[in-house]
Chains A and B, each alone.
Chain A
């Protein structure tokens, strides 16, 4: 194991290649999962949700369906490439379009913004990576990449720092910077290889600005299975699921 790690570490990969690999190893074409989402609110309270999610083409299209608790059961959020976001509220039966300008907003109450989720599968397209150094993180040797948005890419953060495992290229941690300060931190752990894709079974996003945290624990997950395109339509949002 150590030998493999050393071998990989000594491989002269360019920052771009490291970034590309990190995306390739953990981005399935489709994914269906049931997750527990635990939101730690700024008042110190904890709120737990059970959410079924579907995604396709990386995170190009995503659908989140709330299963628990009862008060939000049936509420859905649809996220489409380009930033269109729609919400369906089961109690009012209304579908609301949330404008694309809302990409920075908190994704249905969590500490992830719509942009955070989308950007993770497109880091290589929108960012210039720079390898800062290697360091141990969570007992793993990691590449520490600095990612700055390419020219013309509008992004809410001035840069990201990503800790990528030198052995399996999973992304263990991402720090989000604004005005020179870390304002959010995402940590992924308990990776499981499913059909060749590394899936983190636990994820934490901490907002240092708001003193809130969202934990995501994957209970069930399938990757590269058939997910019909109709799942990602307004009609399905209102009727199906």
Chain B
């Protein structure tokens, strides 16, 4: 009697002792597993030692402003939106445990005072002329002159930035014209004219979209992002506040986005998927088990053993890692798929023994003696294949290997310890109640496998040729496989935070995603800010440099500002409104806008084209709609002169006053910066400066080829932030997938050589794995799933899972001898098909995930294991016939 026979004897004799140990282990690991949290955020994939993670932590430690929660307020009543933003800011300020700072508007007082000092010299030169006349006809005349010289000027700034500036300029112009229209129509009073003048001199500080329907503000959470679960609690608390405001302001909509909110949504979707997939896999595998064994209670007992194994595995994972991450969260379905195999084999042996008339204890011993070694080899092979991932340099892949590898061994131990005990208990109960387990009707035999074997023996050359042809087709497709950087394709569908992100991008023409880095001197700050500003991929650079240009530049601006001031002071007195001159300048402005639209169209500056077309009522470049200029001309002609004079007086006086305020020529130094700016951009010890760089366009659709990331990394190699970290996750997954494939291949080959003690058989067993892997890669091309941070792992996984099939077939063949292929398939085939089906079902359950990445992953593994199964029962026997079996 071998080891397993003795083990079976021990279990059947001392089942109460074993039961006691099982209970103790289950209680302990069960308590541990209770504590585990599912962290399915992508951030969980980055190693702590990654420089971007370290830099991020540094930013969190020294600055208040890392990764804000972006609050969006939507509505049609701008004043109400501003009021609610102010109240919301007050509310957040009263929650210092959750939000350490809040920013709902720029510091306009500072901007108002130093407005001209923050402008480029080329702009200041033009302002001098504009400021020479505040009467609306003169102002618009100067404005038109300015306009006509603007878009032909060569600039060192990239097109994207020039386009953004032009769009902002057009938006302000449109705001002013619309204000005039609203005033002349009588829809709004004097305040709209003051507001218009304010727009021309820097605005009121609120961050509002061009169409005035979206206002955003920033709340800076106290808990850093890396403390994933606490950070997510902050999001829930903020959401609670937003709920209060939704009730208070039913006409407005409040939402949150940014990396915190996205993490929360991802976590919710991931947790839903993990639980849902687990339950689906459990039920489907149980059903398959019942149907294939035509029993009810035994499969149920087997699944219970499996569940205990999974609880142990999760408990152990908690001890090792404290969490399940985006890849280890699949542990449940994976272990159901793989772990149930041991029960299948054990129960097969047990039921056969029982039908031979052996008692319960004898049947357990008999089953262990027959299948124990085989299932141990199966478990060890797969576990070692997974554990080979520890050789991969990327920690997340190592974690996956250890968690799944140890999980496989634990489910194996759970099966061999608990399933016999359960069987003993159930038999005792049955004998007490004199019940016999009912066999279900129907059959799930696999007689056809024998016929398949016979067919393969007859047509083995054709089978091999067919496989070669399909594989050649696959090989032709594989070059089309690439690592997709389109992360939007793999995220969960319908995540509110991501939808809001898109909306912000659309309405503000600016990606809300930013990269951040720390600099240690003002010189470095100015140098890097200037370099970044020249990059097309960069939309906006936020730092104290935004509020404090280099001193030499400020000094060069002083004489120009003084000239502007003189120009303002000697400007034409504000007098009567000149309707005729105003209208003609208005029409000149319209012509300028139309011409600008053509020029922008030729240069592909679509945002400018869109704005110009909207303002000038152009459809495909032709004026088809009534525009603001038509409205204003009509209103000016209809309005009485007193109203027009008043409009000019209020707007022009306000503008003149504001322009004068902006003429401060004192040099802006760090100590003059307002506290709210310093608090966000200067470290608490005053020695470091934070730079936030916003992308000019969304980066998620091609993260691996993102010019933004390349440009930022080139200028600031230490930069961090959501796009950069996601780039790293994707890149590390690509590398990890390759390394894991290599190590899985080497390990499996070594295991096979040790197991078979024959290089020939080892290579033969490897061939279906290699061919199946090639087919799976082609499958990724055909489905256009491509490689993602999830599917990058499919090849090493299916190699680890699929290896068992070939091993069982070759083992059995070597026992049965030459010419035994049909027999081998008839006997071993059933177990191979069943175990493959359970694994396919387990991974197939991922097809119902909310996370598209999980879905693609599950479907690909489903297909991959299917390929491996097909190749094991068809291709491998054909190979055997061609080589060993065909030998005389």
A residues touching B (Cβ–Cβ < 8 Å)? 39-43, 45, 47, 49, 70-72, 75, 87, 89, 91-92, 94, 96, 98-99, 101-102, 104-106, 108-110, 113, 156, 209-212
Contacts and interface: CB of A to CB of B under 8 A. Distances in A.
Contact of B154 (A39, A71, A96, A104): A104
27 contacts: A39-B604, A42-B158, A42-B536, A43-B606, A70-B620, A71-B601, A72-B601, A72-B602, A89-B591, A89-B594, A89-B598, A91-B594, A91-B621, A92-B591, A92-B594, A94-B591, A96-B148, A99-B152, A104-B154, A106-B603, A108-B603, A109-B600, A109-B601, A109-B604, A110-B603, A209-B536, A210-B160
Interface of B: 148-149, 152-154, 158-160, 534, 536, 591, 594-595, 598-606, 620-623, 697, 707
The 8 closest A-B pairs by CB, nearest first: A41-B604, A71-B621, A109-B602, A109-B603, A104-B154, A92-B591, A102-B152, A89-B595
A45 B604 contact: yes
B623 A47 contact: no
Contacts of B595: 87, 89, 91-92, 94, 96
Given A43-B604, A89-B594, A211-B536, A109 B599 contact: yes
A98 B596 CA distance: 13
Contacts, number: 91
A210 B158 contact: yes
Given A70-B621, A98-B152, A41 B598 contact: no
A146 to B, nearest CB: 24
Contact of B602 (A40, A110, A209): A110
Contacts of A94: 591, 595
Contacts of A89: 591, 594-595, 598
B602 A91 contact: no
B158 A43 contact: no
Contacts of A212: 159, 604
B154 A102 contact: yes
Contacts of B620: 70-71
A113 B159 CA distance: 14
B149 A99 contact: yes
A99 B598 CA distance: 19
Contacts of B602: 39, 47, 49, 72, 108-110
Contacts of A75: 598
Nearest to A103: B154
B591 A72 contact: no
Nearest to B160: A42
Contacts of A41: 603-606
A98 B534 CA distance: 25
A202 to B, nearest CB: 20
B591 A39 contact: no
A106 B604 CA distance: 12
Contacts of B707: 211
A90 to B, nearest CB: 9
Given A71-B601, A109-B601, A211-B536, 8 more contacts: A49-B602, A70-B620, A87-B599, A89-B591, A92-B591, A109-B603, A110-B602, A212-B159
A65 to B, nearest CB: 13
A43 B595 CA distance: 21
Contacts of A70: 620-622
Nearest to A91: B594
Contacts of B160: 42, 210
Nearest to A113: B154
Nearest to A46: B604
Contacts of B149: 99
B736 to A, nearest CB: 30
Nearest to B592: A92
Nearest to B163: A42
A87 B148 CA distance: 12
A211 B606 CA distance: 16
Nearest to A209: B158
Contacts of B536: 42, 209-211
Contacts of B148: 96
B152 A72 contact: no
B506 to A, nearest CB: 14
Contacts of B697: 43
Given A91-B623, A96-B595, A105 B604 contact: no
B167 to A, nearest CB: 13
Contacts of B159: 42, 210, 212
Given A99-B149, A104-B154, A71 B604 contact: no
Contacts of A156: 154
Contacts of A45: 604, 606
A71 B623 CA distance: 10
A199 B604 CA distance: 27
Contacts of A72: 598, 601-602, 621
Nearest to B162: A210
A102 B591 contact: no
Contacts of A101: 153-154
A100 to B, nearest CB: 11
A4 B622 CA distance: 56
A221 B513 CA distance: 49
A102 B153 contact: yes
Contacts of B601: 47, 71-72, 109
A72 B609 CA distance: 12
Nearest to A77: B602
A89 B595 CA distance: 7
A153 to B, nearest CB: 17
A156 B156 CA distance: 11
Contacts of B622: 70-71, 91
Nearest to A97: B148
A156 B155 CA distance: 12
Given A42-B159, A70-B620, A71-B620, A108 B606 contact: no
Contacts of A43: 604, 606, 697
B587 to A, nearest CB: 10
B105 to A, nearest CB: 30
Count chain A CB atoms within 10 A of each CB in B153, B603, B620 and give the residue with the most: B603
A134 to B, nearest CB: 33
A98 B152 CA distance: 7
A241 B594 CA distance: 21
Given A105-B153, A210-B158, A211-B707, A39 B621 contact: no
A102 B599 CA distance: 14
A109 B620 CA distance: 18
B707 to A, nearest CB: 7
Contacts of B621: 70-72, 91
A157 to B, nearest CB: 12
A75 B597 CA distance: 12
Nearest to B535: A209
A39 B601 CA distance: 10
A92 B534 CA distance: 34
Nearest to B702: A44
A21 to B, nearest CB: 32
Nearest to B599: A109
Contacts of A106: 603
A113 B152 CA distance: 11
B599 A108 contact: yes
A106 B536 CA distance: 16
Contact of A71 (B591, B598, B603, B606): B598
Contacts of A98: 152
A75 B599 CA distance: 10
B536 to A, nearest CB: 5
A71 to B, nearest CB: 3
Contacts of A39: 602-604
A209 B697 CA distance: 17
